[in-house]
Amino acid sequence: MLKSQKNKYTKEDPLEHDEYNFAYLDEQTKRMIRRAILKAIAIPGYQVPFSSREMPMPYGWGTGGVQVTASCLCPTDTLKVIDQGADDTTNAVSIRKFFEKTANINTTDDTNSASIIQTRHRIPEEPLKEGQILIYQVPIPEPLRFLEPRETETRIMHALEEYGLMHVKLYEDITKHGHISTAYAYPIKVEERYVMDPSPIPKFDNPKLHNNEALQLFGAGREQRIYAIPPYTKVISLDFEDYPFEPMKAEAICSICGSNSSYLDEIIINDKGDKSYICSDTNYCEKRK
C-alpha cells in the first residue's frame, strides 16, 4: 500500500480530473509523507514533523488525515470515511467524494470490506483486522499542549519522558469534578514510552486502541505532525490507582438495533425533550437491523 505510483494516473473523465495526480498529492510529496509515516511506525506514539501541504479544503476538515490517506492509497484500495461514526455526514461525504474523484478508487460503508478507513472522532465498533489501516484526523496532536504551551519545552518533556504534568491534569479533573472528567482525547501511553493524544475519540473507544490488529495512523494538518500505533501495540489509558480509567457510555440500548454494547448518540425525539439513543457507528447499526 506504500508503493509509489510512478505514472500519472488517468481517469475516465479527463476534462474533470486531468490536472490531478493520483489521490491529488504529487509523488514527491507522498514520498515525503510516507517517510514520516514509516518513522512514526518505527517509534510508536512519537509525533513526527512533516511539511503539510495546502489541500483544497480548510484546516479543521481533516487535512492531516487526508494527506496521510492520499499517501497510503493504491488503486486497488477500498476506502471508508466516517465522521463521528457516520458515513453520511457532510465531512465524511466530501472527503469520500474527493478521493473518488482524484483517485478513482472504490469506496464503501462496510467496515469489514474497507482496506483504509479515514475517521474523525470514532473507532468503528466492528473489530478491525490485520492489513486494514485506520487513519485519524487530528486537530491538536500535543497532549501536553494546554498545560505547557511552549513547543520547545514539550519536546524536551517527551524526550526525557517527563510526564508528571499529564497526571497534574487528571489530578485537577478529580479535584474539580470528583472523577476524571476527561471524556474525549483521553491521554494514553503507547508501548510504555510516549504519552499520546488519541485525537478526540470518546474514551469509550480507548480500549480498542490497545493491541489492535490494524495499523493506526494519525495526521494533524495544521500542526504538521504524523504519529502511529502499529498493530498489536500496548496502549494504556493514564489514571490513578484509586481513580482507575473507565470507558464510559450512555446506560441505554440502541433504539434501532438494540445493541447494548456500542457507543450511543443521544437524540431528542419530540418537543417534550424525550430522548432516544442510537448507535454512533451507522454501519454497525445498519448491519444489525
Partner 1 sequence: MNNILSVKSLTKTYGHQIGCNDISFDLHEGEVIGVVGESGSGKSTLLSCLAGRLKVDKGSIKFKSRTDVKEELTEITEVRRRYLSRTDWAFVHQNPRDGLRMDISAGGNITERLMALGQRNYSSLRSKALNWLSKVEISTERIDDNPTTFSGGMQQRLQIARNLITEPRLIFMDEPTGGLDVSVQAKLLDLLRKIVIGLNLSVIIVTHDLGVVRLLADRLIVMKSGEVVETGLTDQVLDDPQHEYTQLLVSSVLQF
* Interacting residues with partner 1 (CB under 8 A): 147, 156, 160, 162-165, 167-168, 171-172, 174-176, 239-243
| Inter-residue contact 104 to 11 (CB < 8 Å) | yes
Q: DSSP code of 98?
A: H
Shortest gap between Cβ of 163 and partner 1 (angstroms)?
A: 7
Work out whether 257 is an interface residue with Zn ion (CB under 5 A).
yes
Phi, psi of 273 (to 5 degrees): 90, 15
184-217: burial string, b at 16+ Cβ within 10 Å, e else: ebbbbbbeeebbbbbbbbbbbbbebbeebebbbb
**64 is a catalytic site residue:** no
| Inter-residue contact 65 to 91 (CB < 8 Å) | no
Which residues, at least 6 apart from 247, have a Cβ–Cβ distance to it below 8 Å?
203, 204, 205, 206, 207
Shortest gap between Cβ of 162 and partner 1 (angstroms)?
A: 6
Residue placing its CB nearer to Zn ion in the complex, 98 or 263: 263
Specify which residues 190 forms β-bridges with: 194, 235
**257 is a catalytic site residue:** yes
The one of Zn ion, partner 1, none whose footprint includes residue 43, by CB under 5 to 8 A per kind, is none
**Catalytic: which of 74, 164, 254, 258?**
254
**74 is a catalytic site residue:** no
Residues 227-256 that bind Zn ion (CB under 5 A): 254, 256
**254 is a catalytic site residue:** yes
Residue placing its CB nearer to partner 1 in the complex, 180 or 264: 180
The one of Zn ion, partner 1, none whose footprint includes residue 279, by CB under 5 to 8 A per kind, is Zn ion
Q: Which residues are catalytic?
A: 45, 254, 257, 279, 285
